[in-house]
C-alpha cells in the first residue's frame, strides 16, 4: 500500500483494492476543485480512427472544454513520471476528437524529458496541449507563508440618540414670530417642543429629524464621548405651539458608547495535498474537509458536496 493509499484510507475509512485507484480518485477531486466541471473516474472511450478502447483516469468536462487526465502514483517505486508515460497520453489525444486537451497528475513529479514533451505536445502534427500537475501530500515547507489565522480587532462607537440634547436656533424673524405667544407684560415664555418634522414657510412638511440624522452625527469627541455640532437649516421652520418659526439651524449633542471586540478566524483543517503547475507554483491546497465532502456514484461520476 502506497502512502497515498494510506492517506485515502485514513480520510474515507477504506481504500480501493487496486493499486493506483485511490490516487486516481483523489486526482478527480483535485480536477473538480480547479475546473468546477463534470468529472468522472475510470471512464472508457473508443478511438475514432484506431477503434482502440482508451481507459481514462480523470475525464473532465466544463462546457466545450473536455480533457483526458492520467494519474500516476509512483511513490512506492520512488520515481518520477517519464517521457514514456507522457507520450502514451500524447499519442491517444489525436484519436479522440471530442477531447481537446490532456492533463497529467503525478505524485512524484516529472523528468525533464517528460516536461519538455508536455510543453511541446500541441506543436506536434495533430497534437493537443497537455497540462501537467504535481499533485501530492503537502509538507510544512509547502505551507510556509500561508495564513492560518486572521485576527480582527473591532472598535464600535454606538450613538445613544434617546439621550441626546437638541437646541433649535431661530432667526430674527423666527424670534419675532414667537413674541406673539407672549402675554402682555411677559418677558419669558416656556414651551415643550416635540421635534419630529421641519416645514417650509407655508407649513408644508419638507424634512424629518430621522432623515436629517440618518447619515451620521459627525465626529465623536474622545474626551466627552459624544458628538457635538449643528445642522444648518436655511429656509426650514418648526412649530412652536401654534407659531411657525424660522430656523437658523439645529444644535445637538449626542452621547456615544464604545465596545471593543476581537474575532479570530482560524483554519483548523489539515492541508493534505498540494497542487502545483508545470513551473512548480502552488495552485491550491486541498484539506481533509474538502476531500471528505466528495463521493463517487456507481458509474464513477464524481459527486460534489
- Ordered per-residue pLDDT tens for the chain, 305 residues: 899 999 999 999 999 999 999 999 999 999 999 999 999 999 999 999 999 999 999 999 988 899 999 999 999 999 999 999 999 999 999 999 999 999 999 999 999 999 999 999 999 999 999 999 999 999 888 877 666 677 899 988 888 988 989 899 999 999 999 888 888 878 777 777 788 899 999 999 999 988 988 877 778 888 889 999 889 999 999 999 889 999 999 999 999 998 989 887 666 566 689 999 999 999 999 998 899 999 999 999 999 99
- In sequence order, which ranges of the chain are alpha helices (DSSP H)? 3-12, 21-35, 83-92, 112-120, 140-143, 172-178, 209-213, 288-292
Q: φ and ψ at 50, to 5 degrees?
A: -90, -15
Could you give the C-alpha distances from 131 to 31, 155, 179, 190, 264, in angstroms and in order? Answer: 12, 48, 88, 85, 38
pLDDT score at 186: 80
114 vs 205: CA distance, rounded Å: 80
Helix (H, G, I), strand (E, B) or coil at 183: coil
What does the pLDDT read at residue 266?
Answer: 62
Q: CA 36 from chain center: how many Å?
A: 16
Q: What is the per-residue pLDDT for 265? A: 66
Q: Are 189 and 177 in contact (CB under 8 A)?
A: no
Q: Where are the beta strands (DSSP E) in 148-225?
A: 149-159, 165-170, 197-199, 205-208, 220-221
- What is the β-pairing status of strands 65-72 and 101-106? parallel
- Residue 227 to residue 299: CA distance in whole angstroms: 67
Length of the chain in terms of residues written: 305
Amino acid at each position: 500500500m502506497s502512502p497515498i493509499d494510506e492517506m485515502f484510507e485514513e480520510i474515507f475509512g477504506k481504500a480501493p483494492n487496486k493499486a493506483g485507484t485511490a490516487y486516481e480518485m483523489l486526482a478527480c477531486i483535485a480536477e473538480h476543485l480547479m475546473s468546477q466541471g463534470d468529472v468522472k473516474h475510470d471512464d472508457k472511450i473508443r478511438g475514432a480512427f484506431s477503434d482502440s478502447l482508451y481507459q481514462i483516469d480523470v475525464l473532465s468536462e466544463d462546457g466545450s472544454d473536455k480533457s483526458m487526465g492520467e494519474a500516476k502514483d509512483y511513490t512506492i517505486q520512488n520515481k518520477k513520471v517519464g517521457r514514456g508515460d507522457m507520450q502514451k497520453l500524447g499519442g491517444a489525444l489525436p484519436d479522440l476528437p471530442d477531447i481537446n486537451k490532456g492533463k497529467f497528475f503525478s505524485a512524484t513529479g516529472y523528468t525533464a524529458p517528460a516536461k519538455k514533451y508536455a510543453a511541446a505536445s500541441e506543436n506536434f502534427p495533430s497534437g493537443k496541449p497537455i497540462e501537467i500537475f504535481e499533485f501530492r501530500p503537502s509538507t510544512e515547507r509547502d505551507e510556509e507563508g500561508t495564513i492560518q489565522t486572521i485576527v480582527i480587532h473591532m472598535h464600535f462607537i454606538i450613538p445613544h440618540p434617546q439621550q441626546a440634547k437638541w437646541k433649535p436656533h431661530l432667526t430674527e424673524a423666527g424670534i419675532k414670530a414667537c413674541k406673539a405667544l407672549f402675554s402682555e407684560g411677559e418677558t419669558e415664555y416656556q414651551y415643550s417642543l416635540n421635534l419630529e418634522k421641519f416645514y417650509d414657510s407655508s407649513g408644508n412638511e419638507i424634512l424629518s429629524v430621522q432623515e436629517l440624522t440618518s447619515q451620521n452625527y459627525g465626529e465623536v469627541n474622545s474626551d466627552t464621548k459624544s458628538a457635538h455640532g449643528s445642522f444648518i437649516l436655511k429656509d426650514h421652520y418648526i412649530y412652536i405651539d401654534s407659531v411657525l418659526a424660522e430656523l437658523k439651524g439645529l444644535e445637538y449633542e449626542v452621547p456615544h458608547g464604545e465596545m471593543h471586540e476581537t474575532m479570530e478566524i482560524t483554519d483548523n483543517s489539515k492541508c493534505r495535498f498540494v497542487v502545483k503547475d508545470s513551473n512548480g507554483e502552488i495552485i491550491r491546497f486541498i484539506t481533509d474537509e474538502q476531500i471528505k465532502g466528495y463521493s463517487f456514484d456507481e458509474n464513477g461520476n464524481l459527486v460534489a458536496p
